[in-house]
Structure 1
Amino acid sequence: MAKRGGGYKAPRNYDPRGNAGKGGKGRAGKAGTGRAGAGRPATGRGAVKRNAESRDVQSKETRSKDARSRDAQPRGAASRGGASKSPRLTPDREPRPRVKPEAREESAKARPRRERSGQGSNGLDDARTGRHADEVVSRKPLEDRVFERLEANITTAADAEGVSFEDLGLDPRLVEALAEIGAEEPFPIQVATIPDALGGKHVLGRGRTGSGKTIAFGAALVQRLFWMHGKRKKGVGRAPLALILVPTRELALQLDRTIQPLARALGLFTTQIYGGVGYTKQNTSLKRGVDIVIGTPGRVEDLERRGHLDLSQIAITVLDEADEMSAMGFIEPVERILDLTKPTGQRMLFSATLDAAVLGLVAGYMPNPAVHELDEDAVGEIEHRVLIVERREREAVLAQLAGSGGRVLIFRRMRAGAEDLAVALRTHGVAAVALHGDLSQPERTANLEQFTNGKVNALVATDVAARGIHVDDVRLVVQADPPDEYKTYLHRAGRTGRAGNRGIVVTLVQPGRERRMIELLERAEIDAPMIPAGPGSASLDEFMA
């Protein structure tokens, strides 16, 4: 401290009673006001200027002394905690101890989030973190475990031979509606699960994407609702009777395109509710009255809290892509939703992977379920390849694969990467669009329609955005970024080889990273050769259409 007149000069925010003023204010009065005295600056406009200059000089002197003191301090004299500066003391006062702030506990009953215009709840948000799911899936998993599978009845392709939808007990009008959407004969998963579902049993069905799970539970749900409430009055504002929960808005829209014509064939009505869009249209649909709601857990729970959605009459609940909802942190919201439905209601759970990760849901809400698992030989043939590609050659190799003919779906881990790759492919002359969370809902819908209608050959997508893609003739799936988890690999691979077609899955890895890929393939129970490749190499010829 600077000294004046041989005595100690108190700092300007010092209070002899032990009260330090804020910003130079305190009981000693404001700077430049009050009587001049010990520890107080003189008054007057000129005095204020001199006082300010004096404080600047004193401050510089103090900093200079502090610096010389630190330089003179021997090494190792600093505290072991790593702090190099000691707290600045004032007379008769001890330094205030630094206390690490405690983590703020979240309320058990979180308030509904205030949403911006055009946004909604958890359309694509991770329920555990609140972050966008495109970012969530890109993080390195804490644990990529292979759980013990539940015991199941295995269904093979031979089990479906000679079986028709009429044989399964479906209404002729429903069978006709199925034929109109291209489902003339049932797939093995449908043959296995529809009879148990029509009988009112809880059903667990495992089959990878493209195996026919949507029609398996959709047709059974519509038929059973018609039997239970066929003569129900179609009054305005009637509460829904069935609920289908899915992880993403894209999947909700895709399911509705399949289930809506089946429901209307028997006089039932559907609606979709999901985040990322405003509430008005969805509220209007619910006020009109619907029989089947297809939605994401976040928006379903949101509308129920707001009083727009009555779940008390739900007699049938379907959980589609249950493992993905688990991975995204939706299990607790799903449980809260199930608690609001009829306790005696029927529950059906379908997933690409059916293991102990969803055992809690099964134990709590699905006693004595009928468990069915599809033999992988019962669906289309999928071949797997791993290409070892140098980083500098990746873009050229991806452009060659994307332009190989037919529909090509390319996976990137991050949203920015998906957009950048789509732009790069277009510079190589490949018609490509992106699908990720940074796009608005109309943009996403338009890009997906371009890919579905064949206007573009390549679609570059993030994992979450691609979960709603159900296109039967994707010839080639390319993983530009290898997945972090084996379940992600299975979901990506399920976008090809659908409806009995042949498909190819190609994964690009850099030299030196083969070991991690081998371990992931072992967990997924997939054999894939490792092939060195580069632009124009003969190893890429087999992927040409």
Structure 2
Amino acid sequence: MPKNTRASSGASSSKKPRWSSEKRSARGLPTERPRGGAAPAERRPGRPQRAEDGRPMWEPRGKDAKFRPERAPEERRRSARPPFDRDARPARDDRPARSDRPVRSYDDRPARTERPARSYDDRPARSERPARSYDDRPARTERPARSYDDRPARSERPARSYDDRPARSDRPARSYDDRPARRGSDERPARGERRSYDDRAPRRSYDDRPAPRRDHEDRAASPNPFPEDVVLERLTAQAVEATAVEGLGFEDLGLGQNIVRAVNELGATEPFPIQAATIPDVLAGRDVLGRGRTGSGKTIAFGAPLVERLLQLNADRPGARREFGRAPRALILAPTRELALQIDRTVQPIARSVGLFTTQIYGGVPYARQLGALQRGVDIVIGTPGRVGDLAAQGKLDLSKTVITVLDEADHMCELGFAEPVQEILDLTAPGGQKLLFSATLDKGVADIVDRYLVDPAVFEVAGEDQASSTIDHQVLLLEQRDKQQVLIELASGPGRKLVFARTRAFAEQLADVLDDAGIRAESIHGDLNQSRRTRALEKLTSGRVDVLVATDVAARGIHVDDIALVIQADAPDEYKAYLHRAGRTGRAGKEGTVVTLVPRNRRRRTEELLARAEIDAEWTSVVPGDDVIAELAGR
């Protein structure tokens, strides 16, 4: 008996038998089994009625009701349902045993041998079938050949003749008289009367254009292929001889006793030439332009007379000096945060000596402290153009009472793109206010500001401020690019504080790591660092916790650290002004200093041109690591 029979019998035995009408009645159900069309309420009592869309219509419950369906009491449920009787279930033993089932028989089928064999005898044999014949077709040779004899020969065809066409001379001439005249044709002049072009301007000539550059080697070596380093014409200035100020003191220049005492405490006992030349005119209220080399005392040259001038102006306004929330009366702008902080370190003690207050306004730090100082009221604001212009645009900084404005490193601010912001700031100051411009390289780059805002300015420079009278020794070491880091380590290993300049921020950090690995304490400073880290790096160099500070050109202007005897330029700058300001970090206030520039051999020509623009005559020396000249420059 095959497996299918067992499976069907097992499925029928496992199927639950249907209840009879008596069992349905005993369980409280209708005797008739509901069909598909019956309503849900008729199928089973106790269920909630449903709406037309099929959803149950539940009755709302109270807030204290538990989340469980409503159930009938236990007694009613038990009485409505009969007790379970296990014996009432159909027993499995009532099924007949497999042995009692009739055996399935296939005897009624005829045997395969008794079945009639299939016969194909009624088909004719292949040999008896008629062969297929193609004899009814004519042979190819019997078919008629295709003939073109019915066509006439080419020689017998009539020649094409054009004799029936009239000759060109017999054709009527083409006339355009019947065409309508063009619009305005009567106004057109005859060809002989048309405009002559002899009065046109001569054609533009391109012969005066400069020849294209061919310095591909230098272009590949420099990060900026087309550096714009143009030596501008210097402003005409009145030269001040150093001998003309001998024997003068700050009291003789018109400064008060408190200010003179504060200046002396800063280390300036006698005025420098640029200070002696500019202080009297500043006190007189004139616009002044001062040009002096780095380290010549320009900060005191405008800081000390600015404080004295404010005292004179406040004398006409009694009580205004201590007014809460007062607007600043003086503004000093610098291109970098470091220079602004250095100016504040010089001007703040001078201002406090007479009861005036200063504050710094620059970017990279939160606004809260700066806004708090402005709300309390200050007399002198020292900051950078970006943050000063931002606060002025927000209405947090009132410059309408500013009567004295100082631009330190004015040419550098214009080079950095601050010319327009500086002009916007100057427009916000009091009309007719005093303007002071100071820089080490004051030239025609600030001519627009000078012509627009300064009235009959007094221009001063110190005579004889050239390399011959300078205390800075300039050295250039010519080397291979692969030897640069080793030579730098040997130069930095000597005693004293050293300042190393690099062109890029990444190279500055790399050199600081190289020096640290060589056992030389070094820190890096560049524009990617926030102000607190930059200030902390400068404090480490000033306090002696590090011996070398590796910086980009952000430190080339305005950073003053005492006793820096050696400046190393790991990368030569692209602009001669940057070279002068880098070199100005040493040899300050008459002290001696050395500037060493490391130049690869493929950059020699460009460096020579740079030194020529800076009017520097340096000594060139070809070196390799371990040479005695390196140890001599390092001071070992």
> Is residue 171 from structure 1 mapped to residue 256 from structure 2 by the alignment?
yes
What is the aligned partner in structure 1 of residue 333 from structure 2? 245
Q: What does the per-residue CA deviation read over 1:384-423, in whole Å, with 9 as the maximum and x for residues that have no partner?
A: 1111111111111111111222111110111111111011
What is the aligned partner in structure 2 of residue 490 from structure 1? 580
> Is residue 152 from structure 1 mapped to residue 242 from structure 2 by the alignment?
no
1:466-477 alignment runs, 5 A limit: 466-477=556-567
**Amino acid paired to 1:298:** G
> Is residue 309 from structure 1 mapped to residue 397 from structure 2 by the alignment?
yes
Q: What's the CA shift for 1:323?
A: 1.5
Contact 2:263/2:269, CA 8 A, preserved across alignment:
yes
1:143-292 alignment runs, 5 A limit: 143-230=228-315, 231=318, 232-292=320-380
Percent of residue pairs bearing the same amino acid type:
60
> Is residue 372 from structure 1 mapped to residue 372 from structure 2 by the alignment?
no
Task: Please point out which of 493, 504, 508 is paired with 1:403.
Answer: 493
Contact 1:379/1:498, CA 8 A, preserved across alignment:
no
| 1:384 partner SS | strand
Indicate how the Cα distance of structure 1 residues 158 and 141 shifts in structure 2: closer, same or farther if over 3 A, else same. farther
Q: What does the per-residue CA deviation read over 1:507-542, in whole Å, with 9 as the maximum and x for residues that have no partner?
A: 111013211111111111110121111211022133
**Amino acid paired to 1:152:** A
What is the aligned partner in structure 2 of residue 539 from structure 1? 629
Q: What's the CA shift for 1:440?
A: 2.3
> Is residue 393 from structure 1 mapped to residue 478 from structure 2 by the alignment?
no
**Amino acid paired to 2:251:** E
Structure 1 CA distance, aligned partners of 2:365 and 2:543?
25
Structure 2 CA distance, aligned partners of 1:440 and 1:270?
23
What is the aligned partner in structure 1 of residue 598 from structure 2? 508
Contact 2:227/2:574, CA 8 A, preserved across alignment:
no
Contact 2:321/2:356, CA 8 A, preserved across alignment:
no
1:434-445 alignment runs, 5 A limit: 434-445=524-535
Q: What does the per-residue CA deviation read over 1:306-337, in whole Å, with 9 as the maximum and x for residues that have no partner?
A: 11100001100000011210110101100110
Structure 1 CA distance, aligned partners of 2:562 and 2:265?
16
Indicate how the Cα distance of structure 1 residues 325 and 531 shifts in structure 2: closer, same or farther if over 3 A, else same. same
Structure 2 CA distance, aligned partners of 1:403 and 1:160?
41
Q: What's the CA shift for 1:139?
A: 4.2
What is the aligned partner in structure 1 of residue 521 from structure 2? 431
Contact 1:209/1:494, CA 8 A, preserved across alignment:
yes
Q: What's the CA shift for 1:430?
A: 1.1
Q: What does the per-residue CA deviation read over 1:137-169, in whole Å, with 9 as the maximum and x for residues that have no partner?
A: 974554211111111111232223211100111
Task: Please point out which of 514, 518, 539 is paired with 1:449.
Answer: 539
Structure 2 CA distance, aligned partners of 1:504 and 1:171?
37
> What's the TM-score, normalizing by structure 1?
0.73
Contact 1:437/1:465, CA 8 A, preserved across alignment:
no
What is the aligned partner in structure 2 of residue 479 from structure 1? 569
- By relative contact order (CA 8 Å, sep 6+), the higher-ranking structure is 1
| 1:193 partner SS | helix
Segment of structure 1 superposing worse, 158-167 or 304-313: 158-167
Q: What's the CA shift for 1:273?
A: 0.3
What is the aligned partner in structure 1 of residue 407 from structure 2? 319
How many aligned positions are there? 409
**Which segments of 5 or more consecutive residues in structure 2 lack a partner in the other structure?**
1-221
Contact 1:434/1:459, CA 8 A, preserved across alignment:
yes
**Amino acid paired to 1:305:** A
Q: What's the CA shift for 1:468?
A: 3.6
**Amino acid paired to 1:191:** A
Indicate how the Cα distance of structure 1 residues 406 and 139 shifts in structure 2: closer, same or farther if over 3 A, else same. same
Segment of structure 1 superposing worse, 446-455 or 310-319: 446-455
Structure 1 CA distance, aligned partners of 2:569 and 2:524?
14
Structure 2 CA distance, aligned partners of 1:176 and 1:141?
50
What is the aligned partner in structure 2 of residue 416 from structure 1? 506
What is the aligned partner in structure 2 of residue 342 from structure 1? 430
**Amino acid paired to 1:544:** A
**Amino acid paired to 2:384:** T
**Which segments of 5 or more consecutive residues in structure 1 lack a partner in the other structure?**
1-136
Q: What does the per-residue CA deviation read over 1:102-149, in whole Å, with 9 as the maximum and x for residues that have no partner?
A: xxxxxxxxxxxxxxxxxxxxxxxxxxxxxxxxxxx9745542111111
Indicate how the Cα distance of structure 1 residues 193 and 233 shifts in structure 2: closer, same or farther if over 3 A, else same. closer
What is the aligned partner in structure 2 of residue 128 from structure 1? none
What is the aligned partner in structure 1 of residue 613 from structure 2? 523
What is the aligned partner in structure 2 of residue 383 from structure 1? 473
Instruction: Spell out structure 1 runs of 4+ moving beyond 3 A.
Output: 137-142, 377-380
**Amino acid paired to 1:229:** N
Structure 1 CA distance, aligned partners of 2:227 and 2:501?
22
Segment of structure 1 superposing worse, 469-478 or 520-529: 469-478
| 1:243 partner SS | strand
Segment of structure 1 superposing worse, 191-200 or 142-151: 142-151
| 1:272 partner SS | strand
| 1:238 partner SS | coil
Q: What's the CA shift for 1:465?
A: 3.7
Q: What's the CA shift for 1:379?
A: 7.2
**Amino acid paired to 2:608:** I
| 1:505 partner SS | strand
**Amino acid paired to 1:314:** T
Contact 2:490/2:631, CA 8 A, preserved across alignment:
no
Contact 1:249/1:468, CA 8 A, preserved across alignment:
no
Q: What's the CA shift for 1:250?
A: 1.1
**Amino acid paired to 2:599:** V
